Amino acid sequence: MNLNLMMNDEDELKPRITVFGVGGAGGNAVNNMIEKKLDGVDFVVANTDAQALAGSRSTSRIQMGPKVTEGLGAGAKPAIGAKAAEETIEDIVDHLMGAHMCFITAGMGGGTGTGAAPIIAQAAREMGILTVGVVTKPFQFEGTKRMRQAEEGVEALQKVVDTLIIIPNQNLFRLANEKTTFTDAFAMADDVLYQGVKGVTDLMVRPGLINLDFADVRAVMDEMGKAMMGTGEASGDNRAQEAAERAIANPLLDEISLNGARGVLINITGGYDMTLFELDEAANVIRDKVDSDANIIVGSTLDPNMDGSIRVSVVATGIDASAALADVPAPRRSMAEPLTQNPSVSQKVETAPRQDDLPPRRVAAPMATDARPAAPAPAAPAPAAPAHAARIEDEMPAPAYQRREPAQPMMLNVKEDAGFIAPRPTQAGAPRGQASPETLERLRRAVEHKGERQQSASQPAEPVRNQSRMAGLGRMLERMAGHSDTAAPKPPASSISERVNERVAVRARQQETDFDDLASPDAAQDNTEIPAFLRRQAN
C-alpha cells in the first residue's frame, strides 16, 4: 500500500514590489520606510561600505564589489561604484527574481549611488521589471563637482529606467525652518518615496470602490521618462479640492509641472463618508492640470480610519514631453526676430538696384586704371592697390566686395607654412601620459612574471599579499596611462545584459528541477515517513 502525503503549495498571484536602496542615501530611505512599517513590499539594500551595510534594518543585503572596494566604499568615484555593481551583478539578479516592479532609490553625486544605480536599473530592465528611479540631488554647499557628478548620474539613470523622480535636497529649505533638525529634513525627502510607493501598493492591495491592477500601473509608468509624485491630505468642508491641490503642489520635487503629462495615476483614499461628488471634484482638479490626451487612471480605496478626511496621491509621468514642448516657444520667439529683420534686409536689397548706375562705373574705371598704370612703371602697383581699396570702400553697399576682401587665405597659408616646420612634429611626438605604452607593457609583463615566480616559490599564505601588491601596481599603471587596460578581464558594461540573461536562465532551471523533484511521487514517498502501525496494517 502506497501512501502519498503531498502538500499543494498554491502560489499567491499578486504583484511583487521591491524597493532597492543603493548607497548611503538609499539605505537611509529604506530604513525610514521599514520604520514606518510599509506592507506588501520587499526591501533590498546594496552598498560598497560594509560598515553602513551592517547598520541597515533590511534583511536582504548585498555587499557590492568586495574585490574592487574591499568593503571600504567607493570614495565618491562613480566609476568605482559601477565596477562594484558589475562585479556582483549575479547577486543583484538573484534579489530581483520574481519582482514585477522595482523602486531604485539612491543619492546622486557620490560614488556608490551615482555609479551603481544605473547598473542595477539596467539589470532590472533586462529582466522585464517595471523600473522606477527615485533619486536626490546634493545641496549647493556640497560643491559644483558633486553637483556635476549628480547631473551625469541622472542622465545615465534616465536612459535605463521607465520613470525617474528627482528630489533636489536644496528644496528642503522650502519646508524647513530654523528649528528643523538634519534628520527631520531628510525624513521629509524620504517621505516622498514612502507616499509614492504606498499610493501604488494601496491601489493594488487594498479593496476599494475602484480597484486597479498592476497592468494599469504599468500602462502609466512604462517608458515615460521624468515623473512626479505627490500626496495631499485634508479634512473639512472643502477637503477634496484641498487634498488634490496639495498633492499637485509638492515643493520638494524638481521644478516640473503637470502641464503636458502623458500618464496620470490618481489614488483617492477616504473613509466610508466619502461622497461621489468629492471623488469627482478631486479628480477634476488634477485632470484640468494635465494634457487633454493624457492616460488618466483613477482608483479609490477605502480606509475606515480616515473618516472625515481624504488623501489624494498622484503619480504623473511623461513630463519630458511637456518640458520639450515648453522649450519650443523660446526658439520660435528667437526665430521671429530675424523674420522681423528680413524687411530691413529687403529694403537694403531694394536700395541696391536703385544704384544700378554704379556697377558700370565700377567696371569701366578699374579696367582702365588696371591696364594703364601697370605698364609704364613697376612702382605704380603699390599706389594702385590702395586706390582700388578706396573705391571699394566708397562703394560698400554692394556686399560682393566684402566677400572679395578676405585675403585671409593667403595669410593662413603663410601661417600654415610656418607651422609645418616646428609645431606639428613636436605635438605628434609629445606623449599623453607620463609613460609610453611600450614602457607600460614591459612593466606589466615584469609584474606578471614576478608574481608567478613569487607564487610558485612562496608559502600558501603569501599569494594573497602578492596579489594585493600586483593589484596595487596595476592600479598605478592605469593611473599613469590614463586608461584602464587591466579592466579587460572584468566584464564591461556592454556584457551586463548577457550576464543578466545567463543568471536568469540558471535560476529558471533550478526552479524547474526543484519543482520536478517535489512533484515526483517517488520523492514524496522518500520524504514521507509512514508510521509503523500503518505498515503493519498494510502487511
Is residue 113 annotated as involved in ligand binding? yes
The Cβ-side half-sphere exposure at 384, using a 13 Å CA radius, reads 17
- Euclidean distance between the first and final Cα of the chain, in Å? 8
Is residue 27 annotated as involved in ligand binding? yes
C-alpha cell at 263: 500618464
Query: In terms of C-beta density within 10 A (0-12 exposed, 13-18 middle, 19 or more buried), how is residue 473 classed?
Result: middle
Is residue 110 annotated as involved in ligand binding? no
CA distance 302 to 269: 6
Residue 470: CB atoms within 10 Å: 19
Q: Taking a C-beta distance cutoff of 8 angstroms, is the pair 322, 291 a contact?
A: yes
CA distance 93 to 500: 7
Contacts of 447 (CB under 8 A, 6+ apart): 470, 473, 474
Sheet of 101-107, strand order = 60-63, 41-47, 17-22, 101-107, 130-137, 163-168, 225-235, 309-317, 263-270, 295-302
Is residue 25 annotated as involved in ligand binding? yes
Strand partners, 164: 133, 226
Is residue 215 annotated as involved in ligand binding? no
The 3-state DSSP class for residue 221 equals helix
Eight-state DSSP code of residue 129: -
DSSP 42-111: EEEEEESBHHHHHT-S-SEEEE--TTTTTTB--TT-HHHHHHHHHHTHHHHHHHHTT-SEEEEEEETTSS
Phi, psi of 31 (to 5 degrees): -60, -40
Is residue 259 annotated as involved in ligand binding? no
CA distance 260 to 321: 7
The 3-state DSSP class for residue 298 equals strand
Is residue 26 annotated as involved in ligand binding? yes
DSSP 361-377: HHHHHHHHHHHTTTTT-
| 56 residue type, one letter | S
Is residue 299 annotated as involved in ligand binding? no
Q: How many helices (DSSP H) and strands (DSSP E) are in the chain? A: 22, 10
Q: Which residue has the cell 503636458?
A: 260
Buried/exposed code over 279-297 (b: 16+ C-beta within 10 A; e: otherwise): bebbbebbbebbbeebbbb
- Write out the binding residues for GTP: 24-28, 111-113, 142, 146, 190
Point out the annotated binding site.
Answer: 24-28, 111-113, 142, 146, 190
